[in-house]
Structure 1
Amino acid sequence: MPVSIRDVAQRAGVSVGTVSNVLNRPDEVSSESIDRVNLAIEELGYVRNDAARKLRGGVSTTVGFVVLDGQNPFYTDVVRGAEDEASRHSIAVLYGNTDEDPARERLYLDLFEEQQVRGVLIAPYGDITARLQKLRARGIAAVLVDRFSGDGRFSSVSVDSVLGGRMAVDHLIETGRSRIAFVGGPFDMRQVTDRLAGARVAAENAGAHVEVEVIATGAMTVGEGAAAGARILARPRHERPDALFAANDLLALGLLQSLVVGGRMLVPHEIAIIGFDDIPFAAAAAVPLSSMRQPSRMIGRTALRILLEEAADPESIARQTVFQPELIVRASTAPR
């Protein structure tokens, strides 16, 4: 059993109140009592539970962060940005990866609620408005990350994915491509549907000579991208797209690996590829990958800042912060 403050008081021969004063208000205690209590603490190995003490005072020193895919460097950078901001406020970030699994998402939210964290940042899988309202009713603030709050009930920090999708396909069209495939999924993820919507807008604006087909994936991973690449290679050459817009960089890297290494297709001469996020691996790929850059660390810092403000003032009005994506052009989309 862990050593308690009562154990310390018994060993030192003083009251529990005296031990508490030594720990919190030593100026109110005699030097003799301080020495006796400190000796008892050393002998028993007592460790002060600051987290529990602050919870009793109504202020937690932790926030929770639930992300969609902990293996995606984009989310790693977003969490790092939140941690950088949290350290300025002496706050710790507890991190959970759902791996795009709604059951794991519920598990982490339940855990953070039980821990009475000060607030929760979440990149959600589906619609979790009702669950976040429950957290708010318990006095736990919540901010959406990498997801725009359509109904405005909760603050959110995101990137304009519709604009990003349009910019990506506009770029592919400008390089001379017209048979474009969007690779992504699942489609109950808002980021995926928004990026596809932007791609379709770009194609419609370009006219009937530009087509956008959809190659669905079960997840946003390198493995799923490689599998999609294999399906493309199985087609006759005249039925293959001449450009691919992947919903994120992990998919794009899987496509690149499958097409170039496995299928010996020339990128960008036979097929161009562009991703989304601009993770560090994009620039280091065998064929440097073009991508739509998101300001990942800024997203994390901004979300944490808003979360702490709302935790301090529960009556504050929800705000929607939307960053603009940036087109990063590399060799994978060079003109024909």
Structure 2
Amino acid sequence: MASASVKDVAALAQVSVGTVSNVLNRPDIVSPETVERVQLAMEKLSYVRNEAARQLRLGHSQAIGLISFSGANPFFTDMAAAAENTASEAGYEVIIGNSNERSEREAGYLNLFEELRVRGVLLSPVGDVAPRLRRMRERDIPVVLVDRESSDSSFSSVSVDDVAGGALATQHLIDTGRTRLLFVGGPAGIQQVGDRLAGARSVVDQHPGVTLEVLFGESLTVFEGRRIGRIVADRAPADRPDAVFAANDLLAIGLLQSLFIDGKPAVPDQIALVGYDDILFAEASVVPLTSVRQPSRLIGETAVQILLEEADDRSLEPRHIRYQPELVVRESTTPR
């Protein structure tokens, strides 16, 4: 049986084809009674919009692509939820992909979104993808970077001042009396990790007698935090740091789970611990975690707004919104 067409819907609802088109695309200009009549006709006929044909006509879909850096991190989950709400209010849907810190998965999602003719893309990039993003922009698909800035400032971005965040965390640890600091990060090539470390180093350089050890992990996950935590716990007491700054909360929570020495948690009595992102689990962990808070929802909302403005006006210059982080102090850094 052939699927119903717009003409079939118009005939059953006793309206013109143009009215059916308005109900589908601009229902605000059609009377509520007519909208209801057309919708009832669609339901009776099991009418399904031909989205492919619509995309060919408009040149784009009513979808926005979002590629998160790590779907396991609640920071990105909260940011994506805010982006979805903002996009929905503007009449768009968000298609979410997770690169899982892998460049090949990131490239696959960029290919998919280009094929789907999305209205634009929000991206937390793994590496330097500027050449690919320029090609997408030439094909009228704008891109806004999320939680990161482009190296040449050629793409709009919404991020947090991670250098300032790293400095906040480190200064707080020093203020609590700690002098042997350890920075635990994920892969060294991640810009956010590098910026947070730069902030930590800038503060340590101003305090003679304070040392900073750096340990890069393979990922920014709870499991990697556990592995590194066991390494720290196995050291002789004199060789352990008295404070750890983890590049995100997932690492910090994993560290906390492993830092039990002689059957007791080493945090905060022997080792102070600071995370980054201030996810929900930070406050709910066995020792409530001090963390650097990022405005995840505000980042998602702002990124969508900028993306849609650029989609409507390609002459706009790139904008770079950088929010300031906030230190949230809890029991994991109780002063000695």
TM-score (norm 1): 0.88
- Report what 2:34 is aligned to: none
- Report what 2:93 is aligned to: 92
% identical aligned pairs: 51
- Report what 1:258 is aligned to: 258
- Report what 1:29 is aligned to: none
Distance 2:324 2:195 in 1: 14
Task: Note the residue ranges of structure 2 that are not aligned, 5 or more in a row.
Answer: 24-37
Q: CA deviation at 1:260?
A: 3.0
Distance 1:319 1:311 in 2: 14
Over residues 235-268 of structure 1, what are the superposed CA-to-partner deviations in whole Å (9 max), with x where a residue is unaligned? 1111010000000000000000111389634211
- Report what 1:329 is aligned to: 329
Tell me if structure 1 keeps the 8 A contact 2:148–2:192: yes
User: Do structure 1's residue 24 and structure 2's residue 34 form an aligned pair?
Assistant: no
* Equivalent runs, 1:278-297 vs 2, <5 Å: 278-297=278-297
Q: CA deviation at 1:60?
A: 2.7
Q: CA deviation at 1:206?
A: 1.1
Distance 1:22 1:329, change over 3 A: closer
Give SS of 2:154's match: coil
- Report what 2:33 is aligned to: none
Give SS of 1:206's match: coil
Tell me if structure 2 keeps the 8 A contact 1:5–1:19: no
- Report what 1:180 is aligned to: 181
User: Do structure 1's residue 117 and structure 2's residue 114 form an aligned pair?
Assistant: no
Distance 2:295 2:221 in 1: 20
Q: CA deviation at 1:91?
A: 1.1
Distance 1:266 1:4 in 2: 68
AA aligned to 2:21 is N
Q: CA deviation at 1:229?
A: 0.2
- Report what 1:270 is aligned to: 270
- Report what 1:139 is aligned to: 140
* Equivalent runs, 1:27-46 vs 2, <5 Å: 45-46=46-47
Over residues 168-192 of structure 1, what are the superposed CA-to-partner deviations in whole Å (9 max), with x where a residue is unaligned? 1000000000110000110111001
- Report what 2:104 is aligned to: 103
Q: CA deviation at 1:121?
A: 0.2
- Report what 1:229 is aligned to: 229
- Report what 1:3 is aligned to: 3
What's the Cα RMSD here?
2.4
TM-score (norm 2): 0.88
Distance 1:201 1:270 in 2: 24
Distance 1:70 1:223 in 2: 15
Distance 1:78 1:40, change over 3 A: closer
Distance 1:70 1:239 in 2: 35
Tell me if structure 2 keeps the 8 A contact 1:62–1:117: yes
AA aligned to 2:225 is G
Give SS of 1:153's match: coil
State how many pairs are aligned: 319
Tell me if structure 1 keeps the 8 A contact 2:183–2:247: yes
Give SS of 2:309's match: helix
Tell me if structure 1 keeps the 8 A contact 2:229–2:259: yes
